[in-house]
């Protein structure tokens, strides 16, 4: 039964106690990622992968989020977040919350994962544990392959402290001059052009008692550290300690002052390669205090910025081992299936190149027959989205193709198809978002290639990041023009489409085609479209429509009906949306939120959010799709699209969310939501205090992994 309460005048829904800090919530998300590395139910190499992802996530967190907070402190910003913290208080909270996690990861890798890898024939050996034969080989390897690349840098009054590049691994070396007995300080950068882990030849591999040796080797920095005499001849190497530096790497481009946005971003990318101010120093606990203090001083860091561990630094490099040929140590392989409705599709791209052997309907006929829902990686991205764009590129009836590219892969079949379309004389317009964080360089490369092929390339709008995932194909059919659309939740990237869960809609509904036409005119020209027929578009009407639909559910409850909202997304941060959800909960609306990452809403608070439940699913695939369900008094509405409920998505990005008008597709999406809400293997429940508790099946329940169930569902849909 719904718990209906009238909003009490004593309850201020803007009170900071009802909001979780954004940064702390993100750390809780990364804690859940780390848990997958700790969980013995996770296959060994997958555990190693999650440990690497935990570290990689932290790198980006410091480069962007921590760097931003430090800039606010330096600028004297004292503005409070909705949860009531200043920037300096947030930095302290991050440090307190993060240090135990870093220590836990370090200890788990050094004392559990390494031992388990050894038992499976994968030996990450410390240099000091090598036998003489192995040392001799590595010394020769060092002289031939490593020594020529190294550049020792002296640090003294005539050699100032060098600029330490972002995310670089380094050795701080103390040598003594035997003539003067003077101690000298030097820095050696561990070159990132060489593999982080050096493999030993098969005949020198460490032997396992019960398992054939698969790989043996040492970390690169240890091979350098134990051969430093070659770099400092005539001196005595006294000690050597690894350290790693993270810098502010966020781009700051004044778009309205940039005559050429691409050139401005390229200039900022050159700055990022070395980074701006340092924000974190990682060291081993064995580093002496005087050396630690010297690095802090030279990098202009404080104690709060230093993180020390006992073992290896930069564990994101553990991803190297995930590709080892050990299928028994990984998740069972999954090959995305081709939907049954596509099984007899005529490959137009092959036909128009002279291959007349295939039979079947083209993809446009199939879309005309019915709207089509795509679910990746359960269903094949290449056989659906890429095929849709490729057929459009070669179909003589297609007049124009328009699409947005936020992130795409380096060898993108989609980009190649767009180039082919332009060469085939079609009108091709592509919005390439140059401001896609950490993909800017890749996007610049593809933008230039597209322009050279004659594609009309635009770079987005001043002050707005274009995050929407849309394709519009204009086709001449008989005596009319028909528009086909793809509206998705994920990037047009064939590689991440195998790792991220995303949804897409293929349709030729006239109103959606007209809306996308208007939206592309907004993106490429001077249109200032204020209304859309079907689409929810940010920053135009999405926020108002979402708030209105939440309030509509509350109004149904106030009239004695039931109210229900289920929303799946990556993050919930926007204070207005949270406050509106609280109001709906107070009215008795039953609300289930499936939020992978950041959630600033506190569920389960009596009188405020007791009708709200929040789960997060962390597992094999990265939950990236966005689904919004509103009961609407029995006239149910379901939406999918590119936007989370974050202020940046609703106010500072171009986003598109589409209603699902096909009742069968709406039913399928509701089934997907139900499967995820029933997950008791990879789901975590958010508590009112901001912590998460992992679900486990009871003695009477069977384990229900949403990923496994959705795989089975996809196979059934493909007739397998």
DSSP per position, 73-140 = HHTT--PPPTTS--HHHHHHHHHHHHHHHHHHHHHHIIIIIHHHHHHTTEEE--GGG--HHHHHHHHH
- Rg, C-alpha atoms of the chain: 28
For tokens 């059934």, name the residue. Answer: 716
Question: Over 43-79, what HEC string results?
Answer: CHHHHHHHHHHHHHHHHHHHHHHHHHHHHHHHCCCCC
Coil, strand or helix at 279: strand
Other Cβ atoms within 10 Å of 371 Cβ, number: 18
Buried b (16+ CB within 10 A) or exposed e, 315-331: bbbbbbbeebebeebbe
Closest alpha carbon to 394 in 370, 419, 431, 412: 419
H-helix or E-strand spanning residue 630: strand 627-630
DSSP per position, 473-486 = EEEEETTEEEEEEE
**Residue 502: which residues within 8 A CB-CB, separation 6 or more?**
375, 376, 488, 489, 490, 624, 625
Closest alpha carbon to 376 in 510, 516, 486, 511: 486
Q: What is each CA distance from 383 to 275, 287, 668, 684, in whole angstroms?
A: 40, 54, 20, 33
Q: What is each CA distance from 42 to 272, 305, 334, in whole angstroms?
A: 36, 32, 16
Ramachandran bin of 76, using left for φ above 0, alpha for ψ from -120 to 50, beta for the remaining angles? left
Distance in angstroms (rounded) separating the CA atoms of residues 130 and 121: 16
Contact 338, 366 (CB under 8 A): no
Distance in angstroms (rounded) separating the CA atoms of residues 243 and 298: 13
| Residues carrying an active site annotation | 467
Report how far apart the first and last C-alpha atoms of the chain are (Å, whole number).
Answer: 41
């Amino acid at each position: 039964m719904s718990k209906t309460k009238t909003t009490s005048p004593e309850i201020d829904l803007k009170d900071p106690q009802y909001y979780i800090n954004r940064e702390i919530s993100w750390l809780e998300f990364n804690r859940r990622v780390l848990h997958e590395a700790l969980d013995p139910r996770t296959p060994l190499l997958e555990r190693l992968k999650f440990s690497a992802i935990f570290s990689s996530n932290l790198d980006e967190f410091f480069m962007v989020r921590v760097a931003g907070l430090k800039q606010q402190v330096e600028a004297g910003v004292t503005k409070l977040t909705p949860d009531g913290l200043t920037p300096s208080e947030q930095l302290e909270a991050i440090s307190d919350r993060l240090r135990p996690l870093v220590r836990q990861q370090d200890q788990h890798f050094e004392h559990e994962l390494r031992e388990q890898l050894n038992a499976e024939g994968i030996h990450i050996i410390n240099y000091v544990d090598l036998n003489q034969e192995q040392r001799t080989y590595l010394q020769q390897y060092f002289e031939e392959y490593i020594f020529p690349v190294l550049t020792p840098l002296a640090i003294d009054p005539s050699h100032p402290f060098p600029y330490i590049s972002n995310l670089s691994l380094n050795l701080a070396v103390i040598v003594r001059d035997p003539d003067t007995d003077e101690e000298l300080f030097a820095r050696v950068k561990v070159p990132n052009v060489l593999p982080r882990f050096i493999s030993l030849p098969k005949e020198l591999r460490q032997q396992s008692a019960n398992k054939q040796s698969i790989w043996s080797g040492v970390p690169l920095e240890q091979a350098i550290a134990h051969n430093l005499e070659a770099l400092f001849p005539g001196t005595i190497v006294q000690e050597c300690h690894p350290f790693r530096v993270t810098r502010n790497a966020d781009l700051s481009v004044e778009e309205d002052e940039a005559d050429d946005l691409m050139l401005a971003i390229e200039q900022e990318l050159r700055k990022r390669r070395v980074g701006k101010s340092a924000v974190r120093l990682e060291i081993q606990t064995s580093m002496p205090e005087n050396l630690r203090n010297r690095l802090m001083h030279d990098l202009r860091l404080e104690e709060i910025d230093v993180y020390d561990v006992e073992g290896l630094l930069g564990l994101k490099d553990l991803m190297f081992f995930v590709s080892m040929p050990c299928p028994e140590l990984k998740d069972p392989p999954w090959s995305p299936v081709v939907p049954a409705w596509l099984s007899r599709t005529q490959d137009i791209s092959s036909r128009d190149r002279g291959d007349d052997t295939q039979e079947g309907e083209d993809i446009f006929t199939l879309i005309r027959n019915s709207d089509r829902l795509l679910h990746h990686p359960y269903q094949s991205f290449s056989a659906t989205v890429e095929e849709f764009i490729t057929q459009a590129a070669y179909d003589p009836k297609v007049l124009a193709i328009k699409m947005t590219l936020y992130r795409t892969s380096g060898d993108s079949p989609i980009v190649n198809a767009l180039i082919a379309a332009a060469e085939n004389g079609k009108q091709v317009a592509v919005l390439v978002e140059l401001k896609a964080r950490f993909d800017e360089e890749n996007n610049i490369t593809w933008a230039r290639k597209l322009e050279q092929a004659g594609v009309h390339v635009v770079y987005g709008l001043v002050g707005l990041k274009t995050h929407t995932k849309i394709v519009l194909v204009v086709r001449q059919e008989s005596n009319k023009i028909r528009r086909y659309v793809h509206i998705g939740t994920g990037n047009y990237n064939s590689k991440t489409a195998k790792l991220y869960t995303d949804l897409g809609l293929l349709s030729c509904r006239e109103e959606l085609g007209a809306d996308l036409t208007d939206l592309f005119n907004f993106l490429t020209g001077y249109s200032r479209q204020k209304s859309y027929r079907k689409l929810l578009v940010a920053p135009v009407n999405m926020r108002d429509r979402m708030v209105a639909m939440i309030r509509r559910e509350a109004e149904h409850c106030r009239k004695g009906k039931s109210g229900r909202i289920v929303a799946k997304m990556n993050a919930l941060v926007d204070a207005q949306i949270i406050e509106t959800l609280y109001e709906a909960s107070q009215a008795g609306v039953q609300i289930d939120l499936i939020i992978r990452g950041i959630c600033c809403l506190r569920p389960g608070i009596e009188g405020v959010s007791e009708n709200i439940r929040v789960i997060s699913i962390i597992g094999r695939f990265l939950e990236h799709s966005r689904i919004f369900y509103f009961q609407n008094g029995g006239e149910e509405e379901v939406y999918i699209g590119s936007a989370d409920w974050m202020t940046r998505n609703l106010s500072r990005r171009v986003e598109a969310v589409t209603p699902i008008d096909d009742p069968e597709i709406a039913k399928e999406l509701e089934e997907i939501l139900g499967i995820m809400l029933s997950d008791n293997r990879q789901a975590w429940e958010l508590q009112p205090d901001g912590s998460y508790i992992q679900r486990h099946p009871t003695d009477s329940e069977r384990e229900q992994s949403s990923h496994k169930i959705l795989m089975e569902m996809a196979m059934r849909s493909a007739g397998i």
